[in-house]
Structure 1
Amino acid sequence: MNRMLLRNAVAATALMTFTGLAAADVVAVATTDLNIRSGPGPHYPVVGAIGANQEAVIGGCQEGSKWCVVTANGVDGWAYSDYLIAPFGGEERIVVTERPAEALPPVSFEATSSVETGVVRGELIGRKTAFGTIEPIPAPPAEVRTYVETNTIDPVYLDGEVVVGAALPETVEVREIPDYDYRYVYVNEQPVLVEPETRRIVYVLR
């Protein structure tokens, strides 16, 4: 299934079931530009975004995962909490891994139809805490963007979220761009530029 069909199928058939949100809403801040997705996973379509240093309301998190229900910029969806911090006990902490266990309720998600997700080959590595900010490279030349968007390739799906500074596993093949220092790949349906030596994402094409 191609990316457009996947996006339309999920948007039309996914249903979120939340429990106990009203009593537990927490205001968090994104430490980097962060996607909002229609479901709790990298294979669900992007429905919005939280900008770096912008606030989002967290209603709860899926038990056993790092995906949380969020509302930001008028959009409801799911975001990966490694890049969301909130004040708990007077200190800023990562929403899932460092918060008190009782701070947010578990929420559930039910998809009303099956979704073809492709193969998940590992996870995005590094910058898990997101406090050591890595700046993206300057915007690439127009011809680079055109090349990447014209020469599309099948995406790989990796656990986590696509952010600048995250590193790709060795199993992910990156493609060359003519007369350009960086390579590219589509990760979780998002085209990204990658530094070949470190395999770190240096720019996300949105």
Structure 2
Amino acid sequence: MSLRRNLLLAGFVLVGSAGLAQADMSATTATDIEVRSGPGSEFPTIGVATRGSEATLDGCIEGSRWCRVDVNGMRGWVYAQYLSVEQNGASMVVQDHRDDLGVPTITYERTDSVKTGSVQPGPDDELLGSVDQNGGNVVAITPPGEIRTYIDENPVDTVQLDDDVAVGATLPESVEVHRIPNYQYSYVEVNRQPVLVDPGTRRIVYVYR
């Protein structure tokens, strides 16, 4: 049974660390975003919330970019960097100002009384390699502007992989990376996000947001 199927079959419970008395927060989507049934790219997409949609923000997971919202009749999970909250007349991105905005911290825990322990990936699952502490000694780079121009002018098919796309993660060998002329790093699009990759180690060194 694949990782994806195990995750979908398991029961889940949402726990709010801020308590039941925490008031809901109003947020706005900064772009068109996919709403997923759980906090991870392995969960199926419920639908798409268009840019400028009004959303009710329940809270975000500690140490993660995933937040749970009610938006356009859908209840699901989205990335914090695509949500903004109005405060004192200014629009503030949730990812950058979680503490300032007082966004509640919530957790998402498996409750599976039959199967315990970690879920192992199946042979058909493709996963990003884990990110070691400090990014596995990978230093995030700052690419020149012309690199993004080249990527935009030479689009490639997106690759769908489980787990968040992050600096220091390792791409599976099955993922083809594409050279950039006169530049030491290659590129690929993962989960609709262009990333720069060290072709020698296949480690991600930059993620375009």
TM-score by length of 2: 0.55
Equivalent in the alignment of 2:54: 55
Output the amino acid matched with 1:90: G
Q: Which runs of 5+ in 2 are unaligned?
A: 113-117, 122-126, 142-148, 179-186, 198-205
Report which of the two structures shows the higher radius of gyration computed on alpha carbons.
2
- Is residue 2:23 matched to residue 1:17? no
Residue 71 of structure 1 and its aligned partner are, at CA, apart by: 1.1
| Distance in structure 1 (CA, Å) of the matches to 2:165 and 2:177 | 24
Distance 1:16 1:120, change over 3 A: farther
Asked whether the equivalents of residues 15 and 107 of structure 2 are also in contact (C-alpha less than 8 Å), the reply is yes
8 Å CA contact 2:41–2:162 kept in 1: the answer is: no
Of 138, 147, 161, 1:155 maps to 161
1:85 corresponds to 2:88: no
Q: In the TM superposition, what are the counterparts of 1:20-59 in structure 2 within 5 Å? A: 20=19, 23-59=22-58
Q: CA deviation at 1:85?
A: 0.6
Task: Name the residue aligned to 2:146.
Answer: none
| Deviation, structure 1 residue 84 | 0.7
Q: How many Å apart are 1:22 and its aligned residue?
A: 6.0
What are the ranges of 5 or more consecutive residues in structure 1 without an aligned counterpart?
127-133, 161-167, 178-182
Q: Deviations over 1:147-179 (max 9, x none)?
A: x69xxx77353347xxxxxxx8795475489xx
Q: What is the CA distance between 1:81 and its match in structure 2? A: 0.1
Where 1:29 maps in the other structure, the secondary structure is strand
Aligned partner of 1:49: which letter?
A: V
* 1:97 aligned residue: 96
- 1:163 maps to none
In 1, Cα distance between equivalents of 2:37 and 2:82:
17
**Counterpart residue identity of residue 163, structure 2:** Y
Alignment CA distance shift 1:110-1:194 (3 Å): closer
Identity of aligned residues (%): 30
Tell me how far 1:14 sits from its aligned partner.
3.7
- In 2, the alpha carbon distance for the partners of 1:49 and 1:9 equals 24
Equivalent position amino acid for 2:45 in 1:
V
Answer yes or no: is the 8 Å Cα contact 2:54–2:71 preserved in 1: yes
Equivalent residues, number: 164
**2: CA distance, partners of 1:119 / 1:51:** 28
SS of structure 2 residue aligned to 1:158? coil
Q: How does 1:1-206 map to 2 (within 5 A)?
A: 2=2, 6=4, 8-19=5-16, 20=19, 23-101=22-100, 103-113=102-112, 114-116=118-120, 118-121=127-130, 155=161, 157-159=163-165, 171-172=170-171, 174-175=175-176, 187=190, 190=191, 192=192
SS in 2 for 1:18: strand
In the TM superposition, residue 105 of structure 1 has moved relative to its aligned partner by: 1.9
Question: 1:92 deviation in Å?
Answer: 0.7
Return closer, same or farther for 1:40/1:154 CA change in 2, 3 Å cut-off: closer
Over the aligned positions, Cα root-mean-square deviation in angstroms equals 4.2
Q: Quick check: 1:41–1:159 contact (8 Å CA) kept in 2? A: no
Q: Give, in whole Å, the separation in 1 of the partners of 2:66 and 2:195.
A: 27
